[in-house]
Each structure stands twice: as structure tokens, then as C-alpha cells.
């Protein structure tokens, strides 16, 4: 049986084996990440358009975002001077290398990276550490969803950098936001419906998790070191946590559950949208860049399904984005939501968002998860 014990990532020890998932735009910034770190978990700041509140964001989004990385980290560190704090950086981000280097320079304990395979992450981190003469190495963790993707990234890092991951995050089909699955794969797991509590085939994905664990184990043996693995997606309560630990995971990554906390950086109306949501409000939608994503039905999503919403400007957010062809600007949609215009914004959420009943503190959520 799995046991609740600290999450040890090399020389970084996280008292409670809970990583708070990175949520952007503007949902997991210093407020949430700092509170989770203070409570003994691993707080994660999302770099997705992190500088949206900077005065020059519209004109200079890259510069504003890089500046905000340092600001948000310093504020989170002020809340949790001795806590574990890192960043979630999407591989699909335009200027990915610059974001990674800015996170290392800020002092990140770890960088978790998905939305593509982070093939160059070790190189960028090492460059940044040398340039900034860092004494403590920033840990690196790829996000994978299948044994195939885990094998590809582990093999690539092994061959090119003679290095293994410090941590591996397995993100399952009940996660929120952009998903590492095709629509067909989601259908295979019963995770593309509006009633995942009934249709989701947990046993099928549990088998995939065990295959990923076997892939990681091979590199543990090669490098003679323990590579912790945490699972994510649809983890909402203590029973969910224990199930993942029983599978062999070292910890869990939780995002949606933290949205309805006092400390979450989202505006109050955003949190209330989660509390008011019913299971039929949670759908799989197609992102402007073609990826499946899980979000809540609201006036914006309905409008987007009826026809194209032409972008007013380009915010230089994603590497593979054609402003002339996309159905709507995902930055504008996510920023609207983060600024409180929820009916005009995109509300990403996990598969169990309808379970939110009230506003809690981070401490209360952590206690409930750990039991």
C-alpha cells in the first residue's frame, strides 16, 4: 500500500507529496504557489502570459513576461522563505528558451514542462546556471501522458545529455486545460464525455501509468538514482491521492482543487464559476492551436462555437499559431477570465471541477488531500 511521505527530488525535499499544478493565464501566480509552498507542498507558478498585468504587456509581451517571472517568484519566496517553488513552462511557448533561462535566474527549485516534449530543457537550464553562476541546480521534470512519450523524452535526454529527469509528471486524461491526448485517445478512456464520473475507465489508464513507471525504472537503474514520479489529472481528494500512491507514484499534482482557495490568484467570480459548475458544464473543446482541452461551457465558448472571433492583436504566446487562421485568440480569452470577465473568457478546468462546493484555504485543502 502507498504511504504518505515526503517527496524527495534529488537534494530537494518537499514535506508533503503534493505539487500544485501550474494554471495559466494568471490562476497560479505567487499567491497560490507561495501558500502551497508554505503549507509544505511544491508551489508552481505558471509562466503562460505571466506579465499580463504589466503596463507594456500589449506592446512588449515577451519583455513583460520575463520581467514578471522574477517578480512573481520573489513574492512567492517572500511568503515561503524555505518552501519549494518552481515554474510550469509550456514547450509550445514562443521564446521558450528565454522563459526557461529567466526561471533559472529567478531561483526556481524546479521547472515542470509539457505542451510538447521538452527535448532542449537540460541544455537551456545548464546554460542559464553557468551564465548566472548558480550554486543550486534547478531540477527539471517533463510532463508525459503515455509510455511512448515517456520513452521518447527519457531516451533523448539520455543519449544527447547523458542525463535522466529529476522528476516525471504523468498527466492523465481528466486533467484541465490543454491535454496530451488526441480526441480519439480521450474517447478510448471514456474521458471525452460530460459525465466522466460514470464513463472514465480508470483501470485502463492505471495500466498506462504502470507502463510509464516501468519506463522510468529503467533509467533509475541506469543512473543508479531514484527518479520520483507524480501523477496528475482528476486528483481531488484523499482517496484519489491514496489510489495514485498505491499504483506506485511518489506523489500527486493537483490543480483544479486549488482554484477555489482563498489564496488562489484567480478573481472571485472565476472561483464562483467553479462552485456553480455542474458536470454537464465541463466539456472537451478544441483549442485555437488544434489541441483538445477541457473547459467550462459559458457565453464565450458558445460564441466561439458559432463562428470565428477575429484577434485584435497578436500577443506572441505560442510558437505554432497563425493569427489569420485561428478561431479566436487564446491569450485574450484567458486574460479576460483572469481579469474577471468570465463570460468573455475561456475557463479551463479539470474533469472534477463540478465537485467544488465552497471556498477553502490552501491549508484546509492540503490537510484533506494528505488525510
Question: What interhelical angle do 61-79 and 96-106 show, nearest 10?
Answer: 30
Give 15: exposed, middle or buried? Use CB within 10 Å, 0-12, 13-18, 19+.
middle
pLDDT score at 1: 66
**Alpha-carbon gap, residue 254 to 351, rounded angstroms:** 12
pTM reported for the whole predicted model:
0.96
The 10s digit of each residue's pLDDT in 113-130 is 999 999 999 999 999 999
The 10s digit of each residue's pLDDT in 278-290 is 999 999 998 887 7
β-bridge mates for residue 254, sequence order: 20
Closest-CA residue to 261 (of 242, 282, 275): 275
Q: Which residues of the chain have pLDDT under 70?
A: 1
The 10s digit of each residue's pLDDT in 72-106 is 999 999 999 999 999 999 999 999 999 999 999 99
Amino acid at each position: 500500500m502507498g504511504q504518505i511521505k515526503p517527496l524527495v527530488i534529488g537534494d530537494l525535499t518537499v514535506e508533503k507529496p503534493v505539487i500544485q499544478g501550474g494554471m495559466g493565464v494568471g490562476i497560479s501566480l505567487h499567491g497560490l504557489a507561495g501558500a502551497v509552498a508554505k503549507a509544505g507542498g511544491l508551489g508552481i507558478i505558471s509562466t503562460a502570459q505571466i506579465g499580463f498585468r504589466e503596463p507594456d504587456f500589449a506592446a512588449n509581451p515577451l519583455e513583460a513576461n520575463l520581467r514578471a517571472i522574477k517578480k512573481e517568484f520573489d513574492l512567492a519566496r517572500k511568503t515561503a522563505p524555505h518552501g519549494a517553488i518552481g515554474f510550469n513552462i509550456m514547450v509550445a511557448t514562443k521564446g521558450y528558451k528565454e522563459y526557461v533561462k529567466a526561471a533559472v535566474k529567478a531561483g526556481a527549485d524546479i521547472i515542470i514542462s509539457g505542451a510538447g516534449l521538452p527535448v532542449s530543457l537540460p541544455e537551456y537550464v545548464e546554460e542559464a546556471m553557468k551564465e548566472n553562476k548558480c550554486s543550486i541546480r534547478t531540477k527539471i521534470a517533463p510532463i508525459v501522458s503515455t509510455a511512448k512519450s515517456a520513452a521518447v523524452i527519457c531516451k533523448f535526454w539520455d543519449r544527447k545529455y547523458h542525463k535522466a529527469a529529476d522528476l516525471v509528471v504523468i498527466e492523465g486524461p481528466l486533467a484541465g486545460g490543454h491535454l496530451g491526448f488526441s480526441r480519439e485517445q480521450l474517447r478510448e478512456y471514456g474521458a471525452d464525455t460530460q459525465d466522466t464520473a460514470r464513463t472514465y475507465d480508470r483501470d485502463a489508464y492505471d495500466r498506462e501509468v504502470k507502463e510509464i513507471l516501468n519506463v522510468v525504472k529503467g533509467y533509475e537503474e541506469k543512473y543508479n538514482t531514484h527518479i520520483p514520479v507524480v501523477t496528475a489529472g482528476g486528483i481531488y481528494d484523499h482517496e484519489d491521492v491514496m489510489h495514485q500512491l498505491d499504483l506506485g507514484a511518489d506523489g500527486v499534482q493537483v490543480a483544479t482543487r486549488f482554484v477555489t482557495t482563498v489564496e488562489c490568484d484567480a478573481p472571485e467570480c472565476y472561483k464562483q464559476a467553479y462552485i456553480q459548475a455542474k458536470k454537464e458544464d465541463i466539456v472537451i473543446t478544441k483549442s485555437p492551436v488544434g489541441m483538445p482541452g477541457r473547459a467550462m461551457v459559458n457565453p464565450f465558448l458558445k460564441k466561439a462555437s458559432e463562428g470565428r472571433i477575429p484577434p485584435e492583436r497578436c500577443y506572441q504566446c505560442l510558437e505554432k499559431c497563425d493569427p489569420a487562421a485561428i478561431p479566436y485568440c487564446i491569450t485574450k480569452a484567458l486574460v479576460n477570465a483572469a481579469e474577471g470577465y468570465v463570460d468573455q473568457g475561456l475557463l479551463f478546468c479539470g474533469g472534477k471541477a463540478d465537485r467544488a462546493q465552497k471556498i477553502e484555504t490552501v491549508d484546509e485543502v492540503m490537510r484533506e488531500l494528505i488525510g
